[in-house]
Structure formats: structure tokens, C-alpha cells
């Protein structure tokens, strides 16, 4: 805007200077009797190629009266500007573009020449410059935005790898590592991520090893305790029962009063023997060693259904041969199912429950790989609820914690899901190694 005002004033000054020289030449011609004074002022010879649109040329006599005026109007399409542009020009103080030049010849004053221009013409000139500048600015801004988008997209492209790594880490894939990045900040993030993943992997492995040792030690302790009870207490009870039978036989011939007491002693020993068998079954079900996991689970389901005071129907679904499981894994799976059914029986107030076992290859592994995953599902239609950590709210959660520890000790993971309609679903994925033909 400043440059346009300066250019307009320069044009007016040039026009005024030319007019003054033209009128001085006319005064010389009048003085030389070449021209008559009545024709003064005569600027027609130069006005046609000199005057611009919206410009006025005026001759003011020495007494201040207007001697002659020549103006060129603007075209009808000039004067249509945006409202913000008009308001901006009204807010800014207008620059002085009118030019006044005195006319003198031989030290005599003959009046003044005044050259003015319509404000609309000035605004039109300013708008022409501004609109062009705005168009160029818009192109530059668009180009800068495109370049910035390309540069930022290129610089932030590795963030996709970081997000993918975070997703894998969140899903439990602790073997995930980020590659090297060119940007220093992203490289630092990658280094911290890899360090954290390695630390979590190491800590998880140590936790799994410790949990495995704990649960294995617990199972060994159960086994030794069951053997000790069977070898010592069971034999003592058998001897007590035989002694009671001998006392009864002797009392029937020699002292009838002792028969009732002998019967009581025999019944007591038989009750203790029955309780001992139940305890031994809880400590180490004989079916696992003798008949396998599937038979043990069938007996467990039948015993849970026969518990007094409960109307619980349990369905057992086995997809594949459970003989492929190692003995330690089979023992832990039995304990997990046992704890799950016990929780359902005690806390869920459920009418139906389902236990399903199946084999699945790990995602991304070939079918021929010996590493397989046992999918264990325990669900019911009970009315229990869970808190944010997936632990039953109505119980102290120790049973679920023990189940999670066993799954962790086997290198798997346990998910506890509250169903939308009613009940819970426990989903465990447990890895193990076995020949493929045993899983068919």
C-alpha cells in the first residue's frame, strides 16, 4: 500500500511537471506573438497521452479562481472491493497524493497547476497489487504446507513401527524390538523401548521359572504327603479295622457287651479310611498316573455334580488326545480345572458350567512344529461380578490367583472375561512340546 501511494504521487508529480513546462512554452509563444493570450492555458497537445483514468488536471488563476479543469472518469467495473479491504483503508490514514505546482515565467506568477486522482483509482491500484500478492502468498503457503507435510510425514514415519511395537508388547510379545532410527529423538525412544522390553522379558522369565519351581514343589509336596498318608496312616487304619473285627469275633463268644463297641470302632475306622481316600484324591488323583488326565477330569466333573446341596450340570469337552501333555502340565491343568469348578460351586451360584480343552498351533508357526498350545476354557452362567483386575468380587480371589500362577508357571496366559448376559469365562493358553502325531 505504501509503495502504491508513492507510485501514484510520482505519477501526479510527473504530470504536473509536464503541464508546467507546457504552459511555460505557451507563455513564451504568447510573448513571441506566436500564440494569443486567450488560448492560455492550453495543455491539449500533451494531455491526451499524459492523463490517466481517475486523474484531474486543474489550472488555478493567481486570484484563486478555477481557470480550467480536465478530468477522466473511471470505468464502471472499478470500485468493487472486499469489505475488509475497504475497512482497512478507512482505518489507515490516507497518504497525500495531490500535487500542486506554481507557474512562473520571467519571475512573474501566472497561477498554479493542481493534479489530483480519485481515491477509487488509488484503491484499485492498491487492490491490484494486494490481490496479486495474496495469490502469490497463497501459493507459497500451500507449497510450504505440502513441503512441511512431506517432511513431517517422512520424519514421523518410524512412529508406525513404534506403535506396532507397543501393540505387540501390550499383547505380551516381549521378544519385540525396535529397529534403529535416523532421528535422534526416535532413536532414543527405540533404545528405551528395547531396554524396557528386554527387562520385562527377563523379569517375566524369572517370574515364570520361580512360579514353576513353586508349583512343582507344591505338587511334589502333595505327592510325598499322599504317599506318606497312604503308607502309614492307611496301614494303621487297616490294622485298626482288622483289630476291631477280631475284637468283635471274640466278644460274640466271650463278652457280648463288647460287640457294640467293636462295631463302633470298626465304623469309626471305616469313616476315617473314607475321609483319607478323599484327602488322597485331592492331594494326588490316582487317575492321572493310572488312566490319564481325561479320566481324572471326568471323575472330577462327576464328583462336583454329586456334591450335596448343589444342582450344577457340568459338560466336559475334549478336542484331541490329552496323552500328548507332559505329566507336569497334565497335573497343573487338573489343578486349574479343579480350582475353577470349586470357585463356580462355591461362589457363582450357577446352574450350568462348561469345561473345554483343545489344541491349537501358535499363530505364525507351521503346523508341523512340535510346539503346541492347549486352549482351556471354563465358563458358567452364574451371577458373580469381577473388578477391574478380573478377580471375582465375591471371593478373596486367592483361587484365581493360584490358577494364574499355575498358568504363568507353564509359560501361558490366563484371561478372565465377564460375559455380557451372565457368568464368567476363563480362557487359558498353555504351551507345551509334543510330537504332532499325538495331537491328531
**Chunked in runs of 10, what are the mean pLDDT values of the chain (440 residues)?**
84 91 90 86 84 87 89 72 73 77 90 88 79 86 94 85 88 84 86 90 82 75 77 78 82 78 83 80 66 84 78 86 81 86 82 87 52 85 58 52 82 82 83 58
Residue 168 — left, alpha, or beta (φ > 0 → left; ψ -120 to 50 → alpha)?
Answer: alpha
For position 321, what pLDDT does the model report?
81
d(CA 379, CA 419) in angstroms, rounded, equals 9
Domain boundaries, the chain: 2-148, 292-439
SS3 of 31-56: the string is HCCCCCHHHCCCCHHHHHHHCCCCEE
In angstroms, how far is CA 13 from the centroid of its own chain? 69
Rounded Cα–Cα distance for residues 431 and 340 (Å): 19
pLDDT at 114: 94
In this predicted structure, what is the pLDDT of residue 394? 43
Q: The sheet that has 66-71: what strands, in order across it?
A: 66-71, 55-60, 108-117, 99-105
Residue 395: its pLDDT value, please?
43
Question: Which CATH class, in words, describes the domain spanning 292-439?
Answer: alpha beta
For the full predicted model, state whether its pTM sits above 0.75.
no
For residues 314 and 353, give the distance between their C-alpha atoms in angstroms, rounded to a whole number.
5
Amino acid at each position: 500500500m505504501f509503495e502504491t501511494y508513492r507510485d501514484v504521487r510520482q505519477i501526479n508529480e510527473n504530470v504536473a511537471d509536464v503541464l508546467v513546462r507546457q504552459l511555460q512554452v505557451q507563455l513564451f509563444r504568447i510573448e513571441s506573438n506566436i500564440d494569443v493570450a486567450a488560448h492560455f492555458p492550453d495543455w491539449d497537445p500533451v494531455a491526451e497521452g499524459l492523463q490517466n483514468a481517475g486523474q484531474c488536471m486543474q489550472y488555478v488563476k493567481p486570484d484563486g479562481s478555477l481557470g480550467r479543469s480536465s478530468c477522466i472518469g473511471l470505468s464502471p467495473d472499478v470500485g468493487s472491493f472486499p469489505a475488509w479491504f475497504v475497512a482497512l483503508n478507512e482505518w489507515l490514514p490516507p497518504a497525500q497524493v495531490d500535487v500542486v505546482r506554481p507557474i512562473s515565467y520571467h519571475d512573474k506568477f501566472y497561477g498554479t497547476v493542481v493534479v489530483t486522482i480519485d481515491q477509487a483509482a488509488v484503491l484499485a491500484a492498491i487492490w491490484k497489487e494486494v490481490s496479486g500478492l495474496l495469490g502469490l502468498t497463497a501459493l507459497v503457503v500451500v507449497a510450504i504446507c505440502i513441503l512441511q507435510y512431506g517432511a513431517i510425514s517422512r520424519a514421523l514415519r518410524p512412529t508406525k513401527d513404534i506403535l506396532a511395537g507397543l501393540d505387540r508388547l501390550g499383547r505380551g510379545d516381549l521378544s519385540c524390538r525396535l529397529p534403529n532410527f535416523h532421528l535422534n529423538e526416535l532413536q532414543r525412544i527405540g533404545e528405551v523401548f528395547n531396554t524396557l522390553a528386554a527387562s520385562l522379558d527377563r523379569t517375566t522369565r524369572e517370574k515364570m521359572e520361580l512360579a514353576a519351581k513353586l508349583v512343582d514343589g507344591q505338587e511334589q509336596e502333595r505327592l510325598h504327603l499322599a504317599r506318606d498318608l497312604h503308607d502309614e496312616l492307611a496301614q494303621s487304619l487297616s490294622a485298626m479295622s482288622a483289630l476291631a473285627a477280631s475284637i468283635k469275633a471274640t466278644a460274640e463268644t466271650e463278652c457280648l457287651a463288647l460287640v457294640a463297641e467293636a462295631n463302633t470302632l470298626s465304623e469309626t475306622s471305616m469313616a476315617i479310611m473314607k475321609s483319607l481316600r478323599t484327602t488322597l484324591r485331592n492331594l494326588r488323583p490316582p487317575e492321572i498316573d493310572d488312566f490319564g488326565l481325561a479320566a481324572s477330569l471326568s471323575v472330577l466333573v462327576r464328583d462336583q455334580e454329586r456334591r450335596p446341596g448343589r444342582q450344577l450340570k457340568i459338560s466336559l469337552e475334549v478336542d484331541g488326545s490329552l496323552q500328548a501333555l507332559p505329566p507336569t502340565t497334565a497335573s497343573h491343568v487338573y489343578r486349574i480345572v479343579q480350582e475353577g469348578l470349586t470357585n463356580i460351586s462355591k461362589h457363582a451360584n450357577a446352574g450350568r458350567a462348561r469345561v473345554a480343552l483343545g489344541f491349537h498351533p501358535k499363530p505364525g508357526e507351521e503346523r508341523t512344529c512340535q510346539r503346541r498350545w492347549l486352549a482351556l476354557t471354563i465358563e458358567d452362567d452364574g451371577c458373580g461380578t469381577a473388578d477391574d483386575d478380573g478377580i471375582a468380587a465375591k471371593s478373596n480371589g486367592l483361587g484365581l490367583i493360584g490358577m494364574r500362577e499355575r498358568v504363568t508357571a507353564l509359560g501361558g496366559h490366563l484371561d478372565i472375561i465377564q460375559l455380557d448376559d451372565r457368568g464368567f469365562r476363563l480362557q487359558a493358553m498353555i504351551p507345551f512340546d509334543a510330537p504332532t502325531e499325538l495331537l491328531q
